Amino acid sequence: MGMGYTPSPRLQTSLSGIALRSPILLASGTAGTIDEMNDVMDITLLGGIVTKSITRHPREGNPFPRITWTRAGMLNAIGLANPGLDAWKADIAPRISAVSNNIIGSVAGDSIEDYVQIASAMDQVQSIPAIELNVSCPNVHSGLEFGADPAALTELVTAVRSQTPNTKLFVKLSPITVGTPNTIVDLARVAVDCGADGLTLCNTVPAMGIDVHTRKPILANTTGGMSGPAIHPITVRLVHLVYSQLTKDTNTPIIAAGGVTRWEDAAEFILAGATAVQIGAGSFADLSIPRKVAKGLDKWCVKQSAASISDLVGQVKLS
């Protein structure tokens, strides 16, 4: 679907060597398993699309209702509904090369073997430039455990890295480390030390809503993951911490996700240290948001006298 906006060269950027037309990606789970969004928005202005997380076996996900809106964003407990690896290989993988944009494959699993099997299958698909490891889904048990435990994360990222020689590897972390002995910087360092080429920060924040009339949880799963504007400032801080304490030195790009609904939200992420941003709940609410964010970022570059958006990465002025 053409809407007649071509991102200016100022928005072109590189994500560990992957050329992006703009720093704006669609977040995993919010944009289908391939290019479904092409029917409703101009995907050519994007830097790419992250697929729904694929698991070894097909998953129906959690019972309904599994999405609800709150005043400050969306609460979901989809539970990784997806067609599974075999159907992905048969039906989706062969179509990826026809998509005129970067398709990043998202992987989730219950075990290291699952992650390795899916990631290595994605690695064989020439048109996939990068894989994002979802080790932070709040709506199933296994993923978050991998993402919160340095020993498990070490084993997982090392194992996947050794089986994905052709693709870049991004690790997507949880924003929540409260109650665990490790900070997000510790976990990010583990991922980078084990060979991650990029960090996606972050997944949703565990949350809950209650219907006061029925006194029942709104989501059938009781709890879910919060996304949208409420989590944006929380995520800005995490991007800032990881950038300033780790990736500034290791040169590892950060892909920020959390509540981008206006260009200023994306700009804040970039100043905090993100090379690219993902839009999730925002494009559920309003399909024109990615285009508005792209246009706003371009004007911002001009006003900031930046020849390239990449010149603004990490450029927050700290006193």
Ligand X SMILES: Cc1cc2nc3c(=O)[nH]c(=O)nc-3n(C[C@H](O)[C@H](O)[C@H](O)COP(=O)(O)O)c2cc1C
In the complex, the residues that contact ligand X under the rule CB under 6 A are 27-30, 52-53, 67, 74, 76, 78, 80, 106, 134, 137, 172, 203-204, 227-228, 231, 257-260, 279-282
What is residue 71's three-state secondary structure? coil
CB of 137 to ligand X, least distance (A): 6
CB atoms within 10 A of CB 289: 22
Closest to ligand X by CB, 192 or 202: 202
Closest distance to ligand X from the beta carbon of 88 (Å): 13
- Dist. CA 114–CA 282, nearest whole Å: 30
Task: With residue 248 as reference, give the H or E element that holds it.
Answer: helix 248-250
**Left if phi > 0, otherwise alpha if psi is -120 to 50, otherwise beta: which for 84?**
left
Output 6 or 64, the one with its CB closest to ligand X.
64
Min CB(249)–ligand X separation in Å: 25
Helices (H) and strands (E) in the chain, counts: 10, 16
Report in angstroms how near the CB of residue 217 gets to ligand X at its nearest.
17
Closest alpha carbon to 202 in 138, 152, 150? 138
Give the whole-angstrom CA distance, residue 42 versus residue 30. Answer: 15
Residue in this structure with the two tokens 């260009």, named with its chain if needed: 263
- Closest residue to ligand X, judged by C-beta, is 29
Which residues lie below 8 Å from residue 10, measured CB to CB, with a gap of 6+?
298, 301, 302, 306, 307, 308, 309
Contact 235, 259 (CB under 8 A): yes
137 annotated active-site: yes
Residue 302 C-beta: closest distance to ligand X, Å: 25
Question: Measured from the CB atom, is 129 or 280 closer to ligand X?
Answer: 280
- Closer to ligand X by CB, 198 or 282: give it: 282
- With CA atoms as reference, report the closest residue to 48 among 13, 73, 23: 23
Nearer to ligand X, 67 or 208 (CB): 67
- 155 contacts 112 by C-beta, under 8 angstroms: yes
Name the catalytic one among 137, 194, 202, 301.
Answer: 137
Q: How far apart are the C-alpha atoms of 134 and 146, rounded to whole Å?
A: 9
Smallest distance from the beta carbon of 224 to ligand X, in angstroms? 9
**Biggest CA-to-CA distance, the chain:** 56
Question: Nearer Cβ to ligand X, position 142 or 203?
Answer: 203
Q: Please, which residue, 10 or 267, has the CB nearer to ligand X?
A: 267
Angle of helix 232-242 relative to helix 184-193, nearest 10 degrees, comes to 50
Smallest distance from the beta carbon of 227 to ligand X, in angstroms? 3
Catalytic residues: 137
